Amino acid sequence: EAEVAQSPRYKITEKSQAVAFWCDPISGHATLYWYRQILGQGPELLVQFQDESVVDDSQLPKDRFSAERLKGVDSTLKIQPAELGDSAMYLCASSLRDRGFVEAFFGQGTRLTVV
């Protein structure tokens, strides 16, 4: 069964260091999402791609976060420099968008701890 792949599963980094997360969506899914989920809260959309284009990054802290999806397939989310408040689960999802039908599938997430 096709899955969304994310790596690493866990990451511990020191404050002010750079960190990167990788996501490989389900083959053929044009839409890719990155979410941040703080413990006890719902996922918050950081950035949404349609193919290689960003369609929504209104909640992405652009002074320290960047995201790219070269060639419209896999994607990387980067944080530089990391801050203590960035500790969270980072979730990637992908979906088809077919005549208004959107079914999203999620990866297992990357748990980031900033110390």
Partner 1 sequence: KQEVTQIPAALSVPEGENLVLNCSFTDSAIYNLQWFRQDPGKGLTSLLLIQSSQREQTSGRLNASLDKSSGRSTLYIAASQPGDSATYLCAASGPDMRFGAGTRLTVKP
Q: Among the candidate windows 17-25, 35-43, 60-68, 80-88, which touches partner 1 by CB under 8 A? A: 35-43
How many residues bind to partner 1 according to rule CB under 8 A? 26
Interaction between residue 22 and partner 1 (CB under 8 A): no
Residues 54-113 that bind partner 1 (CB under 8 A): 55-56, 89, 91, 93, 95, 100-109, 111
- Of 87 and 108, nearer to partner 1 (C-beta) is 108
- Of 45 and 73, nearer to partner 1 (C-beta) is 45
Dihedral angle, C-alpha 25, 87, 79, 83, nearest 10 °: 170
- Of 28 and 100, nearer to partner 1 (C-beta) is 100
Q: How distant is the alpha carbon of residue 90 from its chain centre?
A: 6
Interaction between residue 43 and partner 1 (CB under 8 A): yes
Residue whose C-alpha is closest to residue 93's, from 76, 108, 71: 108
Q: Residue 29: helix, strand or coil by DSSP?
A: coil
Residue whose C-alpha is closest to residue 20's, from 78, 92, 66, 91: 78
How far is Cα 61 from Cα 42, in angstroms, rounded to an integer? 18
| Min dist. Cβ of residue 62 to partner 1 (A) | 17
Provide the token pair at 22.
């990788």
